[in-house]
Structure 1
Amino acid sequence: MRVLNSILNIIFPKKCVCCERDGDILCRGCFLSIKKVCRRISLPHLDFVCAIYRYENSGVLQKVIKSMKYRFLRDIPRLFEYDILDFLEKNFDKSSFVLVPVPLHPKREKWRGFNQSFELIKNLDWQIVPAIKRTRNTKPQAELARYERLENLNGAFTVHPSALPKLLNKKIILVDDVCTTGTTLSECARVLKGAGVKEVYAVVLGHGG
């Protein structure tokens, strides 16, 4: 699927994933329609969570994120790098924080070809530590009812022992694409604090869906 998608991108010109206008993977008009809100969310085990953009069902951001994840469009995360960096620099002391991408299970990452959470931050000049390992290949949270999501992730994450020295005396910022119920972020924060991390924050593109 990923190989076919790459071939099609070469043969046919890129089109906006939202309005299908030729030229760019996301046209300027659609990109500018994604509104920044910096919405703060309260979740268990996290000191705070911030969603940078407004996220609506069937909205532009939702379409963009789904295209990234299920059409394997690895270039999309680069569109959001500037706003992520701007938010981080305005709200956190770079010397005190480490960015930790929310992990995929290795099988899902192999299927997709990349971890979108890592792609969002890989080019930023911040310390990035893939400190968390996903030990179970769980069902996608979006396919589950709210009450099923916590059970689905129970015991699904652990902290890499080799990462612990890099987290010493650091505060953590988890990074993910979307926060729906927040179960994934809460579970990641729980295992980090269980490993001795004192403060865990999170930054996501959107909240909802």
Structure 2
Amino acid sequence: MPARDAFVDLVLGGRCAGCDRPGVTLCDGCRGLLTRLTPFRAWPDPRPPGLPPPTASAPYADEVRRLVIAHKENARYALARPLGGVLATAVSSALGKRDGAWLCPVPSARATVRQRGHDPLRRITKAAVRALRRQGIDARIADALRVVRRPDDQAGLSAQRRTANLDGAFALRSRWAETLTDQPVVLVDDVITTGSTLAEACRALEIGGIPVLGCAVLAATRRYSASGS
């Protein structure tokens, strides 16, 4: 357990970030829950144009939602490894029979990373890569995208307004263009809501000549169709 999490558990008496039971950062019950998740196709409704097939490991609710927030906003670093396992489950499902892929995380603005004190998605993606490699999948992280225009806060925006808000927000880092050419690429994020962020990130990759195999996320909000169509 990272020193910060051990300190929090010591000072606050220790509570599970998922269910708030007294104890450690992640109790056995919540840890077991994360290992029993079944990935599903999480198409937003409506679908944004250009979004490759998105796969989620869980609905964004209850324990999973609390764990994502605790890691992202409260810097509970010890949660990166179990959440990385959750993301790895979605990636593995998205890959099907393929035995390898580059995982490209959706980037955050530098100011957001500074404010949080860490880059939660990249930390989780690195943990997912390690989990996938333990399963024999040749996974690698590709920091191929950068934020070129910081969008406004997405909270409360409709799907259409989110799409407009994100237009031109990302760009491909040119040094990755040759590396990712003709390679399987999976775009990863923590949560899918309208799919606008993923669609815009995919567009940035594809403009640079990098097609995206699919998207994998930890969780999907209730704004999805699980029909698989």
The two structures have a TM-score, normalised by structure 2, of 0.77
1:172 correspondence with 2:185: yes
Find the aligned partners of 2:18 and 2:76 in 1 and give their Cα distance.
13
Determine the structure 2 residue equivalent to 1:152: 165
Greater relative contact order (CA < 8 Å, ≥ 6 in sequence)? 2
Q: Provide the residue aligned with 2:199 in structure 1.
A: 186
2:119 counterpart of 1:108: no
Q: Do residues 26 (structure 1) and 18 (structure 2) align?
A: no
User: Is the contact between residue 46 and residue 199 of structure 1 (CA under 8 Å) also seen in structure 2?
Assistant: no
Q: Is the 8 A contact 2:5 2:78 kept in 1?
A: no
The question of whether the paired residues in 2 share the 8 Å contact of 1:103 and 1:134 is answered with yes
Structure 1 unaligned residues grouped into runs of 5+: none
Contact 2:17 2:66 in 1 (8 A): yes
Q: Distance in 2 between matches of 1:41 and 1:187?
A: 17
Identity, % of aligned positions? 25
* Aligned counterpart for 2:53 among listed residues 42, 48, 52: 48
41-50 or 150-159, larger mean C-alpha shift:
41-50
Measure the CA separation in 1 of the matches of 2:10 and 2:80.
20
Query: What residue ranges of structure 2 are gaps of 5+ in the alignment?
Result: 134-138, 223-229
Q: Is the 8 A contact 1:178 1:207 kept in 2?
A: yes
User: Are residue 207 (structure 1) and residue 220 (structure 2) matched?
Assistant: yes
* AA partner of residue 161 (structure 1): S
Mapping for residues 76-91 of structure 1, pairs under 5 Å: 76-89=79-92, 91=96
Cα distance in 2 for residues equivalent to 1:174 and 1:37: 19
Q: Give the distance between the partners of 2:155 and 2:112, measured in 1 at CA.
A: 15
Deviation of residue 10 (structure 1)?
5.1
User: How far apart are 1:40 and its partner, in Å?
Assistant: 0.6
2:226 corresponding residue in structure 1 = none
Q: Secondary structure at the match of 2:56?
A: strand
The verdict on how the C-alpha distance between 1:203 and 1:168 changes in structure 2, with shifts beyond 3 A counting, is same
For the Cα contact (< 8 Å) 2:181–2:210, is it kept in 1? Answer: yes
Name the counterpart of 2:209.
196
Change (3 A) 1:92 1:154: farther
Instruction: Give the distance between the partners of 1:208 and 1:117, measured in 2 at CA.
Output: 17
Q: Distance in 2 between matches of 1:145 and 1:185?
A: 15
Q: Give the one of 60, 64, 82 matched to 2:63.
A: 60
2:24 is paired with a residue of what secondary structure? Answer: coil
Question: Shift in Å at residue 9 of structure 1?
Answer: 4.9
Contact 2:84-2:126 within 8 A present in 1 as well: no
Shift of 1:26: 2.3
- Residue 125 of structure 2 corresponds to 121
Given that residues 36 and 54 in structure 1 are in contact (C-alpha distance below 8 angstroms), is that contact kept between their aligned partners in structure 2?
no
Question: Per-residue CA shift, 1:95-153, capped at 9, x if unaligned?
Answer: 4x211011000110111122222111213242111000012232332343333211221
- Tell me which moved more, 30-39 or 164-173: 30-39
The amino acid that maps onto 1:27 is C
TM-score (normalised: structure 1): 0.84
